[in-house]
Amino acid sequence: MEEIYNNQSKKGFLLIASLFVLSTMIIIVSFYLSAVLQEIRISNIVDASPQAYYLAEAGIQEAFWKLQNDSAYKSSFENSSDWSATFTRNDSIVPNGSYTVTIQNMAQAHALITATSTISVRDAQSQRVLKADAFKALNESPVDDVALFSNGNISSIGSKIQVIGGGLFTNNNLDLKFFSDWEVEQDASAVENIQVGVSSSLNALSEHDKNSPPIPSEIQTPQIDFDSDDMTSLKSRADSIYTKQEFMNLLEDFPVIELDGIIYVTGDVSIKKGHSLTVNGTLVADGSISVANGFSNEESPANLYVYKQEGIASGVISKKNITFGGFNANIYIEGLVYSGGSLRIQDGIFQNVSVAIEGGLIAQDINALVSWNPITITLNQANINEALGTALFSQVLFINHWEEEY
């Protein structure tokens, strides 16, 4: 009986031992399989990691492109100190991959860009976070806040001029004579002298010349590229190009006409009484431009209307001289009036010359002669800068670029 009990005990022990060994082996194999699967998972993530990095880099580059080329992003980036934007791309470059980009302005034209990429790898994800500082250098126009700029003299005889929102500047003298009344909302500055006759008046925010410190420093006249071979010159960008005779014939054949874009004339332009020209853009001549300065038998006034269009520079730009008036004229210009020579605004005897400009005037000399009707010049810096082609900002630069985590 005792022998049977011992045999049964041995069998029970062997069964328990076998189960224990089997369980241990299963546990060991499970740990081993888990480790292998984990290694495979890590390997897949590591393999996808470079793709995740380059995917995040693609997000940074898309943000960079938007800041330079997307008008909404560009405007907000350059003009707002606290603007932010976020966009996401899914499966656009890498299968099962996406990136989310946040642009946060820390100051005007200075933003922190954060790009987070994610690639799904079976039951796991590979992620990278890249950051970059985007920066544009601000560069104020040399004629910022100046509605009237003359490299030589600004002179007035019997004229009334109102300058709204800006000032005037001359590298030589400002001379007001014979019942000239000028209202200037900002500063009136002359490198040499400001001279106001006893019958005239100048009402400005402040006056500065060599006798009234701070003495203004000379400012170089902004230059315009009329006709070089460069693709940014006015002639290269012109929508229509006419000779002097072709443009004269155009006005004679179509005395009331509307033109769009940059209109470039190789020679002089003369708009006489009976002509009514509307330009949705810029009228450019590499000769002189005159409005209502030549005799005409027509009774209706000479009309010149220039309007600003989105994305197109606007104004009246002459390589030589500009003359407004002499006979009846209505002149309204949204943009820059630029004369490489002298700019003259004048009334004729018993004539009615109306001049209103929303932008600014730049010329070698500016003369206002017997202009009894008030001339209104409202500063619009954006119109001036766009016509000049002034680069108010540098290109977008990355001043820092780093990986945050993955």
- Assess whether 360 and 340 both reside in one domain: yes
- Assess whether 356 and 253 both reside in one domain: yes
What's the angle, vertex CA 263, arms to CA 259 and CA 264, rounded to 5?
Answer: 155
- Assess whether 375 and 287 both reside in one domain: yes
Q: Is the pTM of this model over 0.85?
A: no
Are the C-beta atoms of residues 187 and 165 closer than 8 Å to each other?
no
Confidence of residue 392 (pLDDT cuts 50, 70, 90): very low
- Assess whether 67 and 98 both reside in one domain: yes
DSSP lists the bridge partners of residue 289 as 269, 322
The range of the structural domain enclosing residue 100 comes to 2-139+395-405
- Assess whether 274 and 165 both reside in one domain: yes
Q: What does the pLDDT read at residue 87?
A: 92
Confidence of residue 137 (pLDDT cuts 50, 70, 90): low
What does the pLDDT average to over 42-59?
A: 68
- Assess whether 215 and 127 both reside in one domain: no
What does the pLDDT average to over 24-49?
A: 59
- Assess whether 152 and 30 both reside in one domain: no
Task: Find the DSSP H helices in 70-90.
Answer: 71-79
The 10s digit of each residue's pLDDT in 76-111 is: 887 788 899 999 988 766 677 888 999 999 887 888
**Exposed / middle / buried, residue 380 (Cβ in 10 Å: 0-12, 13-18, 19+):** buried
CA distance 296 to 289: 16
- Assess whether 163 and 307 both reside in one domain: yes
Confidence of residue 305 (pLDDT cuts 50, 70, 90): very high
- Assess whether 314 and 189 both reside in one domain: yes
Residue type, 112: L
- Assess whether 278 and 320 both reside in one domain: yes
Cβ burial 78-99 (10 Å sphere, 16+ → b, else e): beeeebebeeebeeeebeebbb
DSSP lists the bridge partners of residue 191 as none
